[in-house]
Chains A and B, each alone.
Chain A
Amino acid sequence: MKLTLGKIHIQDIVFSDETKLENGVVHIDPSQLERKVLEDDKIATVSFDVAKPGESVRITPVKDVIEPRVKVEGPGGIFPGMIAGVDTVGSGRTHALAGMALVTAGPIVGFQEGIIDMSGLGARYTPFSQTINLVMVCTPREGIEAHEYERAVRMAGFRVATLLGELGRNVEPDEVREFETLDFVEGLHQFHDLPRVGYVQMLQSQGLLHDTYVYGVDAKKIMPTVLYPTESMDGAIVSGNCVSACDKNPTYIHLNNSVIDDLYAEHGRTLNFVAHIITNENVYLADKERSSNQTAKLCRMLGLDGVVISQEGFGNPDTDLIMNCKKIEAEGIKTVIITDEYAGRDGRSQSLADADAAADAVVTGGNANQVVTLPKMDKVIGTLDYVNKIAGASAETLQEDGSLVVELQVITGATNEVGFNTLSAR
């Protein structure tokens, strides 16, 4: 399967009386986007704002971050099973509006989602301080249950992102890359002298507001399965996860998965990137056993020599992570696990809730309990009403001078476990 991904470098977003893309500038007619959002009567109001890198702007509470894309050639459409039909995606040609993001924000549940600062210390911890962000702040119709409203905002985000992605359909991209994964037999012949490497991606799937969808299917209902790595570039995996801002994968990160990107960079040179295996992170212990058994089985069936495993979340998923690692290693396949740490504010506590000697190659996204002080921003998009309630904040978070004393947990993407973050020991 081969996908040509064309990136259109977005230079600016401006409000206008017409929605269009011209010379790298996205023009937005807010009333057109508003109509698209309010197609769902569970959403009472929506407003749009733009936040640019370096501005004194804080966006909170952030729900999802989405990169607009459009399928130009080949089967299916972006966000299959959610917006497009369920054709298998990942081949043909796709255009992305690179350098911008659609950020969905606004109150959903009593404890709220993350923070994106566009400048200051906080900007250094979130990858989304570097994108030009079109922020969509929604409010719910009165009396709507939180989980119904979450779905409404999630789907509205995909509808607007799809509308924006369409603007790039007939635009010549600034940058074009090709990604190709051969089928099992062809790959075996062509790269017979290279180690066969797979990517096991664990998807958050514990329950209400902790969900991920694959071709529209709730990931907690799936058995582990194999994707071509290009499928996620067309939105085959999307986020419905509203908790744990620092280490959840917003849809933007599913579309731009760093592990997939890095493995493709070495594909055909130092390794043969064979497959993207997805599995879940359920609450029921027998589900964990079943999924990790099947994941290890798939790794063996594919004749893998090595596997990179990425986690999403903390605590309960630590057990899935270690089960996957142990069982894949028991098949004689080397593993590297990517996680983050909850090592306490002083960094001295046990980092994970589970461990095993087989997990001897670990990459960390950082300590989510690390405390930082974020300076006051001149402008807030969304509301600070919930800032004391976000995971990693406290009743004392909002200081008199407007600064925030918080753990890294509050910052969207700060300790991301597919490596789409800025923390590094380099």
Chain B
Amino acid sequence: MGFFVLTNNPMVHERAASGIEVVFAAGGIKGVFECAARYIADGHRLLTHPLSGSVKPGETPYKSVLLAGEASPAMDDASARLISEAFAACDKFAERSAFWPAHTLRDLQMIDLSLIEGALESARCDGMQAQ
């Protein structure tokens, strides 16, 4: 069973070269969640929590999620619920990330990368293969 990363984080996107399939999503965190919701509707299961990290939506513009590579015939209800709740959570936080200077954005990219790297390590331990 394989997996892929859906992200709007350029630092994660660069990792495509290291054998991980990365799908780049346009837009902010909501853009990533919308794209993830479409994959979930098509039968892909969510493998990481969409609200990963204590840097809240609005405070960071970056988000990466891990999705199962194979689509099941039926939509995974738990994945649909998680992405829907995560989308709703975004509205609780004021959007501030547009004001961030370049070095802050880099820090935020690095943190998002580290969160997804931890998940990739777990996925490999589970015997999952990158797409």
Using CB atoms and an 8 Å cutoff, list the residues of chain A in contact with chain B. 109-111, 145-147, 204, 206-210, 220, 241, 243-244, 248, 282-288, 313-316, 318-319, 342-344, 349-350, 353-354, 369, 388-389, 391, 394-395
Q: Which residues of A contact B94 (CB under 8 A)?
A: 394
Interchain CA distance A331-B59 in the complex, whole Å: 39
**B38 at interface (Cβ–Cβ under 8 A)?**
no
Residues 50-63 of chain B: 1 if any A CB is under 8 Å from the residue's CB, otherwise 0? 01111110011000
Determine if B49 and A286 form an interchain contact, defined as CB atoms under 8 angstroms apart: no
Q: Which A-chain residue is minimally distant from B78 (CB atoms)?
A: A285
Of B4-12, B13-21, B80-88, the one with at least 4 CB within 8 A of chain A: B80-88
Determine how close the nearest CB of chain B comes to the CB of A364; give it in whole angstroms: 16
Determine if A243 and B54 form an interchain contact, defined as CB atoms under 8 angstroms apart: yes
Determine if B56 and A316 form an interchain contact, defined as CB atoms under 8 angstroms apart: no
Determine if B66 and A204 form an interchain contact, defined as CB atoms under 8 angstroms apart: no
Which residues in chain B, 106-131, are within 8 Å of chain A measured between CB atoms?
106-108, 110-111, 114-119, 122-123, 126
Q: Which residues of B contact A248 (CB under 8 A)?
A: 54
Determine if B108 and A110 form an interchain contact, defined as CB atoms under 8 angstroms apart: yes
List 28 A-B residue pairs with CB atoms under 8 Å apart, sorted by A's residue number: A110-B106, A110-B107, A204-B54, A206-B118, A207-B115, A207-B117, A210-B53, A210-B111, A244-B54, A283-B115, A284-B47, A285-B47, A313-B54, A315-B52, A315-B56, A315-B86, A318-B51, A319-B82, A342-B89, A342-B92, A342-B93, A344-B92, A350-B85, A353-B51, A353-B85, A394-B94, A394-B96, A395-B99
Determine how close the nearest CB of chain B comes to the CB of A359; give it in whole angstroms: 15
Among B49, B53, B86, B92, which residue has its beta carbon within 8 angstroms of that of A349?
Answer: B92
Q: Which residues of A contact B73 (CB under 8 A)?
A: none
Determine if B88 and A206 form an interchain contact, defined as CB atoms under 8 angstroms apart: no
Q: Which B-chain residue is minimally distant from A391 (CB atoms)?
A: B59
Determine if B49 and A146 form an interchain contact, defined as CB atoms under 8 angstroms apart: no
Which of under 10, 10 to 19, 20 to 34, or 35 or more describes the interface residues of B? 35 or more
Determine if B111 and A207 form an interchain contact, defined as CB atoms under 8 angstroms apart: yes
Q: Which residues of B contact A206 (CB under 8 A)?
A: 52-54, 115, 118
Q: Which residues of B contact A388 (CB under 8 A)?
A: 99
Determine how close the nearest CB of chain B comes to the CB of A376; give it in whole angstroms: 22
Q: Which B-chain residue is minimally distant from A389 (CB atoms)?
A: B104
Q: Which residues of B contact A110 (CB under 8 A)?
A: 100-101, 103-108
Interchain CA distance A284-B106 in the complex, whole Å: 23
Determine if A286 and B122 form an interchain contact, defined as CB atoms under 8 angstroms apart: yes
Determine if A284 and B107 form an interchain contact, defined as CB atoms under 8 angstroms apart: no
Q: Which residues of B contact A343 (CB under 8 A)?
A: 92
Determine if A207 and B114 form an interchain contact, defined as CB atoms under 8 angstroms apart: yes
Interchain CA distance A283-B112 in the complex, whole Å: 11
Q: Which residues of B contact A350 (CB under 8 A)?
A: 85, 88
Interchain CA distance A391-B97 in the complex, whole Å: 11
Q: A208-B114, A389-B100 are in contact. Are A316 and B49 (CB under 8 A)?
A: yes
Q: Which B-chain residue is minimally distant from A204 (CB atoms)?
A: B54
Determine if B104 and A111 form an interchain contact, defined as CB atoms under 8 angstroms apart: yes
Interchain CA distance A241-B92 in the complex, whole Å: 23
Among A109, A319, A391, which residue has its beta carbon within 8 angstroms of that of B49?
Answer: A319
**B91 at interface (Cβ–Cβ under 8 A)?**
yes
Q: Which residues of A contact B96 (CB under 8 A)?
A: 394-395
Interchain CA distance A103-B15 in the complex, whole Å: 37
Determine if B49 and A288 form an interchain contact, defined as CB atoms under 8 angstroms apart: yes
Determine if A210 and B54 form an interchain contact, defined as CB atoms under 8 angstroms apart: yes
The 6 closest A-B pairs by CB, nearest first: A110-B104, A208-B114, A315-B51, A284-B122, A244-B54, A243-B54
Determine how close the nearest CB of chain A comes to the CB of B75; give it in whole angstroms: 16
Determine if A286 and B47 form an interchain contact, defined as CB atoms under 8 angstroms apart: yes
**B46 at interface (Cβ–Cβ under 8 A)?**
yes
Determine how close the nearest CB of chain B comes to the CB of A321; give it in whole angstroms: 12
Interchain CA distance A145-B11 in the complex, whole Å: 15
Residues 20-63 of chain B: 1 if any A CB is under 8 Å from the residue's CB, otherwise 0? 00000000000000000000000000111101111110011000
Q: Which residues of A contact B66 (CB under 8 A)?
A: 284
Interchain CA distance A282-B86 in the complex, whole Å: 16
Determine how close the nearest CB of chain A comes to the CB of B5; give it in whole angstroms: 12
Given A210-B115, A284-B123, 6 extra CB contacts under 8 A: A284-B66, A286-B126, A342-B89, A353-B86, A394-B94, A395-B96
Q: Which residues of B contact A315 (CB under 8 A)?
A: 49, 51-54, 56, 86, 89
Determine how close the nearest CB of chain B comes to the CB of A407; give it in whole angstroms: 9
Among A283, A342, A344, which residue has its beta carbon within 8 angstroms of that of B48?
Answer: A283
Determine if A283 and B89 form an interchain contact, defined as CB atoms under 8 angstroms apart: no
Interchain CA distance A319-B93 in the complex, whole Å: 19
